């Protein structure tokens, strides 16, 4: 299980601040995780597609290619573009 944490407007939009998820075998990096979340969530993540989401893995800044695995803590912070 991985712990997903949501902050700022993203937490408000998703109506939760965290959740535990079992990562599918196909989810091995940040980009794949976000793609999976977009497919999993109805309108919440899709509505945010035009916004920038900062991601941290185990409290370190992460890029789309950053590897993730079970046991990781993954934080998402929505940065509204002005």
Query: What's the CATH number of domain 2-79, 3.30.70.20, 3.10.20.30, 3.30.465.10, 3.40.190.10?
Result: 3.10.20.30
Task: Write the burial class of residue 24 (CB in 10 Å: 0-12 exposed, 13-18 middle, 19+ buried).
Answer: exposed
- Indicate the Cα dihedral angle 1, 60, 66, 23, nearest 10°: 10
Are residues 53 and 79 in contact, defined by beta-carbon separation less than 8 angstroms?
A: yes
Are residues 72 and 4 in contact, defined by beta-carbon separation less than 8 angstroms?
A: no
Where in the chain are the domains? Answer: 2-79
pLDDT of residue 22: 95
pLDDT of residue 45: 66
The C-alpha angle 35, 21, 3, rounded to 5 degrees, equals 100
pLDDT of residue 78: 78
In the predicted model, residues of the chain with pLDDT beneath 50 are 82
The residues, any chain, with a CB within 8 Å of residue 82's CB and separated by 6 or more, are none
pLDDT of residue 49: 56
pLDDT of residue 40: 79
Q: Does pTM surpass 0.75?
A: yes
């Amino acid at each position: 299980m991985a712990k997903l944490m949501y902050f700022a407007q993203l937490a408000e939009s998703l109506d939760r601040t965290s959740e535990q998820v079992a990562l599918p075998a196909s989810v091995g990096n940040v980009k794949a995780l976000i793609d999976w979340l977009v497919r999993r969530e109805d309108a919440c993540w899709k509505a945010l597609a035009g916004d920038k989401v900062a991601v941290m893995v185990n409290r370190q800044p992460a890029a789309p290619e950053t590897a993730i695995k079970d046991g990781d803590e993954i934080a998402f912070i929505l940065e509204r573009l002005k």
